[in-house]
A and B are shown apart, each in its own frame.
Chain A
Amino acid sequence: MLTERSILALHHLARAVVLGILSLTATFMARAGKLKLYVEPQMILVLKLSLLALFVLSLFQLFSAVQAWKGNNVQADCNCGGHSPPAGISQSLFLYALFLLPVLLGLI
């Protein structure tokens, strides 16, 4: 039986993992010198900075996961009505799998 609180915590955790994997994979690509196959040379520095930002966001989601687990609500109150996590488990899995697709394809 999952409570509302632990579901929210799991969502933050999943987002932390996805963001972390994305930034680390791209960082490995950068170390292997593969980035220049994909982007213009003058954009590489900007891209590396955004990988750093991605990693920070990942840490932040991890922090939010812990907060949500403890019961502190850290939801952004922006009134957009669009940021709630997807309803069902299969929908959520699809969403997070979609973001890992580039990593999986990179393995081929």
Chain B
Amino acid sequence: MQKPILPLLTAASAIGSGIVALLIIRRDSGITIEEVKRFNVVFTGILLEALPFVLLGVILSAILQVFVSDRLIRRLMPRHPLLAVTVAGLLGILFPLCECGMIPVVRRLIRKGMPAYAGIVYILAGPVVNPVVFISTWTAFSGTPQMAFARVGLAFAVATLTGLMLWKLLKSDPLKVDLASLYASLPEQVNQPAQSRGKEVQSAVLHASDEFFDMGKYLVMGAVLAALFQTTVSRAFLEELGGNQLLSHLFLMGLAFLLSLCSTSDAFVAASFSGSFENGALLAFLVFGPMIDLKSTLLLLASFRTRVVLGIIGLAATLALSGSWLLEAIYLP
């Protein structure tokens, strides 16, 4: 960091030219102040509605990170594969960690002897099968409580089925071998000095606010996109897209992948789409997104072999697509 003034100038000029560009677009395309206001209502609405749940998730996850040891989770794991997969699918109810905290924890657990398929089930199910996400989905879709049940149920089914298939298919170690994971296989707390209670609490609160920034940036960008989408994309196009079942499912799953929203807040983004899309497609968004997105794929690729990651993504996408289709036909209003 020799000359901090240069990037500062670059950033300032980028922001400046962005504002100028926006002003020119606004003048030339005839965007009215009403449209800006409409954008604002959707944008601010999503942020304000999601805020309590993001905070709750972040605080719970920070408490768990600091106070619950890996050993406790490992002790809860049964030996029998079927039981292990079921327990791993429900583990999120007890330990609602966020996605970014989950993958490193699971990698450490697998290194210490937890079966890999069970770990992957926890990675897939944990972000959805947990109380905070259930309540936030319930609140976002207050008119249709079936969405919350369908979301949690389908996520559990997709995760456990994927895990069972991996149990049959996985023959070798799915983890990448690198220095970091070798290091992780060492007994825990080798290099951590014993912390006092006060320091632990301090560390938990700090962790929570850092994670708020991690999760928040995806939420803000997601809310911008959702609001833009609703103020700019034409009704006719939306109706055509929403009318085609397969297309609308695939479109929303792709959107969920790109947006990388945090599972405690994505229900509010999804609910803002409910005028344009059927509930089944929204369910695909809500089930597939938290399991697999850009952010978690990168994290998975850092820990697991590429072929295993591609297999997980393929299985989860197929199961989420067919499951949400099925539920739309038989359960959702």
Q: Are A89 and B11 in contact (CB under 8 A)?
A: yes
Which residues, 206 to 236 on B, are CB-close (under 8 Å) to A?
206-214, 216-217, 220-221, 224
Partner of B48, one of A35, A75, A76: A35
Q: Which of B66, B104, B205, B211 has the most CB of A within 10 A?
A: B205
8 A-B pairs within 8 Å (CB atoms) are namely: A26-B48, A35-B48, A46-B52, A76-B66, A83-B214, A102-B43, A105-B40, A106-B40
Q: Which 5 A-B pairs have the closest CB atoms?
A: A76-B207, A50-B52, A57-B209, A90-B11, A89-B7
Given contacts A50-B56, A81-B104, A98-B221, 7 further A-B contacts (CB under 8 A): A38-B45, A51-B51, A89-B1, A95-B213, A102-B43, A102-B47, A106-B44
Q: Are B44 and A102 in contact (CB under 8 A)?
A: yes
1/0 per residue, CB under 8 A from B, across A90-108: the answer is 1001110111011001101
Nearest CB to that of A57 among chain B residues?
A: B209
Partner of B206, one of A37, A74, A88, A101: A74
Closest Cβ of chain B to A31, distance in Å, is: 15
For B205, the chain A residues whose CB sits under 8 A away are: 57, 60
How many residue pairs between the two chains, A and B, have CB atoms under 8 Å in the bound complex?
128
Q: How far is the CA of A40 from the CA of B140 in the complex (A)?
A: 10
For A82, the chain B residues whose CB sits under 8 A away are: 100, 214, 299
A43 CB-CB contact with B under 8 Å? yes
- Number of A residues whose C-beta is below 8 Å from B? 47
- Number of B residues whose C-beta is below 8 Å from A? 58
1/0 per residue, CB under 8 A from B, across A1-34: the answer is 1100001000000010001000000100000000
Partner of A61, one of B15, B139, B209, B224: B209
Given A54-B55, A89-B8, A99-B220, residue A78 in contact with residue B65 (CB < 8 A) = yes
B-binding residues in A (CB < 8 A): 1-2, 7, 15, 19, 26, 35, 37-40, 43, 46-47, 49-51, 53-54, 57, 60-61, 64, 74-83, 88-90, 93-95, 97-99, 101-102, 105-106, 108
B249 CB-CB contact with A under 8 Å? no
For B36, the chain A residues whose CB sits under 8 A away are: 105, 108
Q: Are B49 and A38 in contact (CB under 8 A)?
A: yes
Nearest CB to that of B102 among chain A residues?
A: A80
Chain B at the A interface: SS class: helix
Q: Are B104 and A15 in contact (CB under 8 A)?
A: no
Q: Are B212 and A57 in contact (CB under 8 A)?
A: yes
Q: How far is the CA of A28 from the CA of B214 in the complex (A)?
A: 25
Q: Are A78 and B207 in contact (CB under 8 A)?
A: yes
Which residues, 284 to 302 on B, are CB-close (under 8 Å) to A?
299
Closest Cβ of chain A to B53, distance in Å, is: 9
Closest Cβ of chain A to B172, distance in Å, is: 25
Partner of A80, one of B101, B139, B142: B101
Q: Are A47 and B192 in contact (CB under 8 A)?
A: no
Q: Are B221 and A83 in contact (CB under 8 A)?
A: no
1/0 per residue, CB under 8 A from A, across B69-91: the answer is 00000000000000000000000
Q: Are A79 and B104 in contact (CB under 8 A)?
A: yes
